[in-house]
Structure 1
Amino acid sequence: MNIPGDDFYALITQALQSRGSGTLQRALYRALREAILSGRLQADSCLPGSRMIASQLAVSRNTVNAALEQLTLEGYLLRSRQGTRVAHLGHREAGQSPPALDVTLASRMASLPAPTPRGTPVPAFTPGTPAINYFPLPLWRRLYDRVLREEGSALLGYGSPAGELSLREAIARHLALSRGIQCDASQIVITEGALEGVSLCTQLLSEAGDIAWTEDPGYAGAKSVFAKSGLTMVGMPVDEEGMRLETQEHSPKLIFTSPSHQFPYGSVLSINRRLALLEFARQHNAWIIEDDYDSEFRYSGELVPAMMGMQDNPPVVYLGTFSKTLFPSLRTGFMVLPKALAHAANPAIGSLLRGGHRAEQRTLALFIEEGHYARHLAAMRRLYRKRYRQLREALAVELHTPHRVLAGEGGMHLTVAIDGVDDTAIVQQAKQYQLAPAALSGYYLDTQRGQTGLVLGYGNTSASQFAPGIRRLQRLITQWQDEKG
């Protein structure tokens, strides 16, 4: 066994001198560990005694022994009456760098849609983001403090996997008034946003290889869940009456739709298609996942009733979210299950979810029960209605390229269909100017064959940004057209 020489002490001394704010013990530990891993201290090398190391380094023997003991505990060193020596760490030669990793993602990852930027601050025209600066944060803070003051440590446990009972009861009462859904708290499961609701539906109601119908174009998040769950997706075309029911060779297990305000086209699923879809699901033992992401924001006429409230015991799982109506980082959504499904799924819910976020859920329950939620929705409805009309006016004046505006009278986005442009390239270039519209083609299952255009979010974009933002987008479109010749 070889014993390290003066270079050993020089190495350790240098490490101790550059230790920064760490302790001498930690610096000595790291220096020895690095020397062993790099091969400068080879296997079976015998270290000097702790007394000699301490003397040479001018540190206490306790410091040296503590570092050596930690390295021994982790397996770098072997200590016995015969002394301390370096352990064998494997077959790789001393100092040899590890080989590069062969990184291959699962094949189903290739079908995932492109991610949506979620940075802060939110750039103009980002779809799906509400006017977070209008949220009554001081009121929320008071309610949150009240919850902690009244219940305190009682809320620190997991709680019910289905979520806080007070919140589920508040949601049930709200749905009865605003969405025409008659349900009770036992049918409601609180989720971390609507996306977790989609994931739970796939786990509860489908097997890998089953078929899922999706709107085409449609919500990218649902497609991500279906892809990673191993489902086979079949796109259903969308027009001014919403999703078209087209007969396929194989029946689906899941049918995902946003009937009250289709994303991204904005159309409303007509009553004939709703009834046909419900009947189809019953006949083929399929489940409809109704994504009701922003139906509270309707700017003409009454709110469009939910599909789930149209019949008794419908084959529908209803998904709602507070990320669009309040603020995204709340990460709170919910799903409503038919009574029979809720009863059957209850044991599985207990295994799949762990509860949590109890103080936030109790705060949200108070926010709803005391009428603050209804008042906030009314205020946001007025704001978004105004922005919707102002954006349409800006498009009429500033966007000269031939286009079609696809939008229902509601929501927080407008879709502009523009034939024959590379919308993905234009969106990439727009980022340089703090503009973040989405490429319409990206919402199709086949992004190369979908309608091109831009999806413009106006929820968190002030009206003062509309005209200059559209002018910039027009210049980018013109620039792209000139380059293509």
Structure 2
Amino acid sequence: MIEIIGPLVHADAADAARPAPLQKQLIDRLQQAILAGRLPAGSRLPSSRLLAAEMGVSRNTVVIAYEHLVAVGYVIADRQGTRVSPLSSPAARGERAAASAASEVVYAARVEQFAASHHHADNADALTPGTPALDRFPLAAWRRALDRAMERALPRALGYGTPAGELALRDAIAAHLRMARGVRCDGSQVVITEGAQEALNLCVRLLTNPGHIGWIEDPGYRGAKAAFTAGDLRVLPIPVDAEGMAVPADAWRTHPPKLIYTSPAHQYPTGAVLSVARRLALIAQARRCGAWLIEDDYDGEVRHTGEPIASMQGLVDEAPVLYVGSFSKTMFPALRIGFVVLPHAIAARAAVALQEMLRGGHRLEQLALAQFIESGEFGRHLGRMRRLYRERQQALRDALAEHFPAATILGGDCGMHLTLRLPASFDDRAVAARAQTRGLSPRALSGFAIGEPGDNNGLVIGYGNTEAERLEPAVRVLAELVREMEGDARAAAKRSAKRAEKRAEKRAAKPAARPRKKPAPQRRPPAAPAT
């Protein structure tokens, strides 16, 4: 056996150059030989004394190496000696390559599909929807809030905290929502999450089982679809019109939902506001069939015309509504603090489940945010941002009117984006891709389709992160790109027409084929007379 194992564990030139101890080198060589199959399962290793003599090392070196291999399960030591353990053999190199290639194909297909529908550009690019004016955030006030949180809470705040979040922040959010959004809640109903996406995931996990039906606005927020799909729900796209989510009359009977996602204050991406009649109808129907509504208050804090629109959750007592929000747009995205307001009936029963689903965290940021809200800094910041976004939206409207005079513009009452509809002849994804090369990041409206794209063709144009003076030049570039694509389409149509014309000319110039003569019928020989 020494003759077999010797060459397997002798150090080569590369090993000799390593500063690793001899026992470490011996362990590594034995492990490699076992994993590669050069020492098959059941092979008996030589005694420590014999191997030490053959290797020219001390016996203790071999003993320590063997003990390590026994400890991790590579070999078994008993009265019969030291033998290689029966291990699952790794896949052959060809099998590993094939498996890796197959997984890369699946992964690449998923990434390509997602990227084609919902590309995220760098936030530094102009016209990015959903990005606030980061350069206008009051960093000095936020730094003071963080300093106070650290002075008052350390070292206690370095632990995990309660899964539902810091009570000070939950109470502050509840007080703000009651006053600003008409939400009926107290701090015990508020659960702090890692952004709005985790809040959606939490709603799905709390209220549904695999196979349940979930309704989502179409076009709509693809993060909601991701949350529903992760919960193995059957997703039903519900169309959106000028009054928001328009539920077909027979959908409650044919596809009764367990969970309904809607953004009533400012539908993303069309900007529609869900009418009061539809809000009340949704609540009434949801109660009848035992469904729950997720109200995503996207951009509800940033209204430009008239009085703020109150939440759907606060319309009636004990509404079957889970109210979801975040501070990514009102503060800054890197804060990663969102929340969900649970109905009383759910909040009381969900406490134990939250212990398993959430772990808490970001305690200092949560305490700082609570102080930021209670001190009035949050409200003052919102007021400044509303005025800024109103100014920037008007600049964007003026630019669109100049460079896209015949186009339809959706939205504008709330938020930080407008949606520009394009004729069906334009590929909005191709326009958005070309805009990327020019430092612009509008989104393709068709990328928000939950079902078939249909007539959802256009550009979702953000103005929150773009100064007013940059909007007209940026829209001018978009118009140039659209004209270039229109010219390319006309040139391609001409080339196609010319090719068709040439094919027709060739067919006309080809001589007509002569009709083939039918062969003369062959006469049968006379039958032989019967005998």
TM (norm. structure 2) is 0.78
Question: 1:307/1:16 Cα in 2 relative to 1: closer, same or farther (>3 Å)?
Answer: farther
Match of 2:485 in 1: 480
Aligned to 1:415: 419
Identity of aligned residues (%): 46
CA distance in 2, matches of 1:243, 1:322: 24
After the TM superposition, which residues 199-210 of structure 1 pair with which residues of structure 2 at under 5 Å, given as runs?
A: 199-210=201-212
Deviations 1:407-437 (A, max 9, x none): 1322011111112121122223333333322
Q: Taking structure 1 as reference, are residues 159 and 82 closer, same or farther at Cα in structure 2, changes over 3 Å only?
A: same
Give 2:4's aligned residue: 3
Tell me the equivalent position of 2:175.
Answer: 173
Counterpart residue number, 1:322: 327
Query: Partner of 1:74 in structure 2?
Result: 72
Report the secondary structure of 1:255's partner residue.
strand
Q: CA deviation at 1:319?
A: 0.9
1 CA distance for matches of 2:344 and 2:91? Answer: 64
| CA distance 1:15–1:294, shift in 2 (3 Å) | farther
The gaps in structure 2 that reach 5 residues or longer are 494-531
Select which of 152, 158, 161 maps to 2:160. Answer: 158
Aligned counterpart, 2:464 = 459
Cα 1:99/1:133, change in 2 over 3 Å: same
Cross-structure match for 1:14: 14
1:224 match: 226
Give CA deviations for 1:108-136 in whole Å, capped at 9, x if unaligned. x89x9657455655432222122223223
Q: Is the 8 A contact 1:399 1:471 kept in 2?
A: no
Q: Write the mapping of 1:45-444 to structure 2, written as runs, cut at 5 A.
A: 49-50=51-52, 53=55, 70-76=68-74, 89-91=87-89, 98=96, 100-101=98-99, 103=103, 114=115, 116-117=118-119, 121-247=123-249, 248=251, 249-399=254-404, 402-420=406-424, 421-444=426-449
1:72/1:50 Cα in 2 relative to 1: closer, same or farther (>3 Å)?
Answer: farther
Q: Distance in 1 between matches of 2:467 and 2:310?
A: 29
Query: How far apart, in 1, do the equivalents of 2:63 and 2:386 lie?
Result: 68
Shift of 1:296: 1.0
Q: How many residues align?
A: 474
Deviations for 1:169-226, whole angstroms, at most 9, x for unmatched residues? 1011101211112321111111111122222222222332222222111111111111
Query: Partner of 2:526 in structure 1?
Result: none
Instruction: After superposition, give the CA deviation of every residue in 1:323-381 in whole Å (9 maximum; x if it has no partner).
Output: 11111122211111222332233333333222222222111111111111111111221
Matches of 1:384 and 1:24, distance apart in 2: 68
Q: Unpaired segments of 5 or more residues in structure 1?
A: none
Deviates most, 22-31 or 381-390: 22-31
Aligned pair in 2 of structure 1 residues 96, 426: CA closer, same or farther (>3 Å)? closer
Task: Return the index of the structure with the highest Cα Rg.
Answer: 2
The answer on whether the counterparts of 1:113 and 1:224 sit within 8 Å (CA) in structure 2 is no
Task: State the shift of 1:268 in Å.
Answer: 1.3
RMSD: 3.4
8 Å contact kept, 2:121–2:441? no
2:283 and 2:319 in contact (8 A); partners too: yes
Question: Whole-Å Cα distance in 2 between the matches of residues 357 and 295 of structure 1?
Answer: 25
AA matched with 1:289:
I
What is the CA–CA distance in structure 2 between the aligned matches of 1:34 and 1:339, rounded to whole Å?
59
